[in-house]
Structure 1
Amino acid sequence: MDALAHRRPARVDLIRLRADLPDALGGAVTDFERHLLLERGLSENTVRAYVGDVVSLLGHLLTGGGDGLAALDLARLRSWLADQRTAGAGRTTLARRSASARAFTAWAVRTGRMVSDPGPRLASPRPHKALPTVLRAEQAEQMMRASASGAAQDDPLALRDHAVVELLYATGIRVSELCGLDTSDVDHSRRVVLVLGKGGKERAVPYGIPAEKALNAWLTKGRHLLAKGDSPAALFLGARGGRLDPRTARRVVHDVVGAVPGAADLGPHGLRHTAATHLLEGGADLRSVQELLGHATLATTQLYTHVTVERLKAIHDRTHPRS
């Protein structure tokens, strides 16, 4: 079976491998996928990654002579990860695949598909936490000036794009959250957007006056020019009148950041990092930033304290006479 070869599987290999799984294993994958989507409320991208990892694991199980989940023990989990490492998977990827395997075996035990759970004994390398690249405050200002100059001609797409980058930077929300917003999710009187985040959790996120101006210009001068008779109630629309696609939003951000000399190539998530860093540098406390970003744990938000410290150290090294 080519799809079971010991190499990092391409997406098409995983699709073929899943189709070739025995009925019992294939049914388990389908039920696990439904559990991740409906019960845990994970994003489609996360579910796709977890399911792909589980399919890869079950393929490895079959090549090793296992004929069902009863054969999935700690030795086979370790063997699977070792094959992934040999195929070139990095520490971050291995950590995620370990998490996928642990989630699957825990679910399999809860649903009676396995008697015991080997997952908790599966060690995995800790991923390297590289500090995110962010824009400096003056670069963010240059980015907004470039975006605003494009919107000055009142072209509907340019008005939309300016509102997109202003709102992303003002709120630090994820691109999927931005594209999921409806017009009714904006409280104009309080300058707040109601965001549906990971796990189906709602949170209210404020935005400032520049984002308010850009948003109002889009809604009064641009949105109706893109809307069609069957357009959804989406806050942001695509060129054909449908809900704005996250890929289009990513392209918009890359293009406008590219207009800033010396700025790193950033997408929407880079603007999220930038917003969080600038909030902390401006004196916001970690708990408030955690709530604004929708982080499940404070540990995730603490990464940005390292960014601000590194930036302060760089400034000190560059400017202090005895650095």
Structure 2
Amino acid sequence: MSSLERAVGAYLDHLEAEVGASAHTVAGYRRDLARYAAFLTDAGVSSVGDVRPDQVQGFAAWLRAGGEGRPALAASSVARAVAAVRSFHAFAVRDGEADANPAARVSPPKQGKRLPKALSVDQVQALLNVPDRTTPVGLRDAVLLELLYGTGARVSEVCALDVDDVSSQLDDPDLGLRLFGKGRKERIVPLGSYARAAIGDWLVRGRPTFIARAARPGPALLLNARGGRLSRQSAFNVLAECAERAQLGVPVSPHTLRHSFATHLLDGGADVRVVQELLGHASVTTTQIYTLVTVEHLREVFLTAHPRAR
């Protein structure tokens, strides 16, 4: 193993053990840095301290261009990889493996501004009406949907919830729901009456059926068919099936509901900084892309409704 590969391994261990990054984040960084290490090895670089800025820039171009048996990556994917490389080199400097960060001034490719795809309020209501709340599975699915849309939480945050995280909120509506986002950053979000009702029904009439199937019962709020914690991928599948049954005609992911949560709040007059806190964004700049959605909506209404618009 080269010193470069050892440095990458040490950085990934640092992310997992000291930073507390999620398994999903660590997996993404591992994939990006494996590509980076392979690129540098082919260029004859074996030590992290020998990397030059032009090689980092070359890596970004290499990802963007693609090649034989290697698809070209979108600008957003290249930007993510460059961010991983920059963070890796910064760690190597702190760890004494290198004197400088060669990626510090390397800019990722410019990305076109993509507006999030939000569902309409009627589409969300159609989706929320899909689960059969007379069955244990339907009660579970209803909780998943109500939490994703009602709190704007990431799917990983919802799947990580335990029963103890929500039990006290059922008795006291003023208590918020504690979520742990990226980097284990904690935030408190309100839990609305619809979500509380769905959780209460699930805990009384649904979860006991699932927990009876578990070889070793655990504390997870949302359970799979075997009584274990519902995984992120299973949550994606549940939502996709519900969207198909609702006949929405558009692809729907957990992030679609997060986008819809933010857009509907802003449409209703919420301040962008309040939405920032609810979403757990580190910067209000990230949240402001949702304001573009509402501006576009206003423009569409104007063009459709005003007699002098066209």
TM (normalized to structure 2)? 0.91
1:118 aligns with 2:99: no
Q: Deviations over 1:2-59 (max 9, x none)?
A: xxxxxxxxxxxxxxxxxxxx24222211110011223333222222222222222222
Matches within 5 A, 1:5-154: 22-87=1-66, 88-147=72-131, 150-151=132-133, 154=134
Give the direction of change, closer, same or farther, for the CA distance of 1:54–1:262 in structure 2 (3 Å limit): closer
- Alignment correspondent of 1:12: none
Distance in 2, matches of 1:129 and 1:42, equals 27
Query: Aligned residues, how many?
Result: 298
Q: Which moved more, 1:251-260 or 1:193-202?
A: 251-260
- Separation in 2 of the partners of 1:77 and 1:169? 40
Q: CA deviation at 1:71?
A: 2.0
Aligned residue in 2 for 1:214: 198
- State which of 161, 170, 178 in structure 2 corresponds to 1:188: 170
CA contact (8 A) 1:139 1:263 kept: no
Q: Using the alignment, how far apart are the partners of 1:317 and 1:91 within structure 2? A: 33
Q: Identify the match of residue 307 of structure 1 among 285, 293, 298.
A: 293
Identity over the aligned pairs, expressed in percent? 39
Q: Provide, for residues 201-225 of structure 1, a one-character-per-residue CA deviation record: whole Å limited to 9, x for no partner.
A: 2222112222222111111100001
Mapped pair 1:171 → 2:151: yes
CA contact (8 A) 1:185 1:194 kept: yes
- Cα pair 2:3 2:46 within 8 Å, conserved: no
Query: CA contact under 8 A between 1:231 and 1:243: conserved in structure 2?
Result: no
Q: Does 1:290 align with 2:272?
A: no
Structure 1 unaligned spans of 5+: 1-21
RMSD (Å) for aligned C-alpha atoms: 1.5
Moved more, 297-306 or 209-218: 209-218
Name which of structure 1's ranges 62-71 and 103-112 shifts more when overlaid on structure 2: 62-71
What is the alpha-carbon distance in structure 2 between the residues aligned to residue 156 and residue 262 of structure 1? Answer: 24
Q: TM-score, normalised by structure 1?
A: 0.88
The residue number in structure 2 matching 1:233 is 219
Aligned-residue offset at 1:189: 2.7
Deviation at 1:146, TM superposition (A): 2.5
Contact persistence 1:133–1:264 (CA under 8 A): no
